[in-house]
A and B are shown apart, each in its own frame.
Chain A
């Protein structure tokens, strides 16, 4: 496929950009698999620790990139808070309000962490990738620019560094739709989960206030089937 694309581009003088863009999106897809189980129905836990060592724990039900339910289990004051993301719609349920409330996608969950950081982790679905030409290249790494496919996603742009060796994500810099840099994340602690080495730790640092740091630890990934109704906003109260 790649060879035929190359032959065609040489023969017909097509811009090499088209070829590199196909590759860039493939790289992002492979890197996505190193940060979760991909688009397979599964559940996992996320522990978020901030710079003051305060912990928040979430359980995530992931059916596909368009159907995720996040339930907070700690601390006690926030127990039972649920966040349902269905396509680009998002609802928040809190035990005191006792009904699901539609909210906008950009609402933050905690500290430096956006809803999308926890529940919408497949960049290939939301962003169009191109290989970057940069002087600050890390060795043996792809430098990618990920541009939002629409303005409903969490970030306007992501600069993404992925290992050439095994497509492991190394770091990402997140930008607002306006182009303003927001935060930087590094990926580490690769562990064998469901037959593949995957990142279990993501450290997110505010771009300007470097002392604002949140650490996300992902664990307990389990392939699991969920009924349709789990992702129905009217079921959040139960």
Chain B
């Protein structure tokens, strides 16, 4: 009931507005557009032969002729990755297929400020590829590194207000975010993190439902600015952890039932970007308090609270003879650790990526990720081949291997070659 109120807030304000007076609507502009995409993967390591992912999105953008506009999106997705990674349980239907409202918001733009109300996606941080500062929206973690970031992000109900100012050569902004309805990431199977720590044949998880609107809330903001070739952002957000931790509900010799839980956490961070000659240096540093981590002690599933510090530095090279590159170093540290934890105290990665650009937006990408501590590797290739102005064809491969305790090796079963087709349309 309460949920439907939140949808009504958005839909009454945008969709219904766009359907009312025809006379007024003459100065309004509508555009309906979207895409259909399908990807087929052939697994190289798994007993499964093929994996698939299909997506569709339809959106209507409405310009009400002045400062007011609206966006209404509907998304559909089908993804076999959860089933392909799952070894101990049968994923629910919701883990395979999903129809949901994407971004649905009303936007008001003035000369010096913007306000946006509704389900939306907000992205912080200066880095891309791996973005520790992208903390606002929950993610669909079934999307692997190859999906576009927009495809992994799930919209969140937000009031988003931002004001802009400039003083001499300095231009800046102040942003305020409030969410009355926290949402959680669509997580991967828990055995992926637990490994052999939960040695049973069947593992079932009761997912935590999204809290009712106004029952729990989230609050935060960002101050950002640019001056003399340098960008910075200072931000903080108090929110429900997007990632789950688990508590034991019941267990038999062969069967464990877990309950998913999400705790309240707070993240603060700083992001920086600077152009040095034709190189761009980026950094995101995020400190998170009270993150819950699972561990196993005396055959009992337990959890502890720890602060985390995630830091990333990357450098983009300029384009020389149509080649460009990016080098990323990322590290995630837990302040505390327990034996048999679901994650390591320090997780360190070095990522290198080279892109060769051809004419007409065609490109070939090759990237390598090295995981330190427990050594893990990932190699990814992608040939992006737009066929015409509305259709993209992609061929690629992603391969994960290394030490059995490494994070990258956990994705071994989805090592694959794939091709995908994406078609954009517009009415």
Contact = CB atoms under 8 A, between A and B. Distances in A.
Are A and B subunits of one complex? yes
Given A98-B149, A103-B280, A104-B278, A232 B107 contact: no
A86 B227 CA distance: 10
Given A76-B33, A76-B389, A229-B111, A104 B359 contact: no
Given A77-B390, A227-B112, A234-B172, A89 B316 contact: no
B150 A235 contact: no
Contacts of A227: 111-112
A13 B388 CA distance: 64
A191 B378 CA distance: 56
A76 B390 contact: yes
Interface string B359-385: 111000000000000000000000000
Interface string B331-364: 0000000000000000000000000010111000
B319 A108 contact: yes
B318 A104 contact: yes
B121 interface: yes
Interface residues of A, number: 40
A105 B274 CA distance: 13
A223 interface: no
Interface in A170-207: none
Interface in A35-86: 50, 52, 54-55, 74-79, 86
Contact of B114 (A77, A108, A238): A238
Contacts of B102: none
Interface stretch (B42-50, B123-131, B292-300, B302-310): B123-131
Contacts of A89: 226, 229, 275
Interface in A104-156: 104-108, 110-111
Nearest to A90: B275
Contact of B173 (A87, A102, A232): A232
A4 interface: no
A101 B273 CA distance: 9
A229 B164 contact: yes
Given A96-B149, A97-B128, A102 B166 contact: no
B389 A75 contact: yes
Interface string B225-244: 01001010000000000000
Contacts of A238: 107, 109, 114, 116, 162
A101 B173 contact: no
B149 A97 contact: yes
Which 7 A/B pairs are nearest by Cβ-Cβ distance?
A234-B173, A229-B164, A75-B389, A227-B111, A76-B424, A96-B150, A104-B278
A101 to B, nearest CB: 6
B390 A95 contact: no
Contact of A101 (B126, B148, B169): B126
A111 B359 contact: yes
B109 A97 contact: no
B183 to A, nearest CB: 17
B386 interface: yes
Given A98-B149, A102-B126, A104-B275, A52 B360 contact: yes
A189 B112 CA distance: 39
Contacts of B278: 104-106
A19 interface: no
Nearest to A80: B61
Nearest to B113: A229
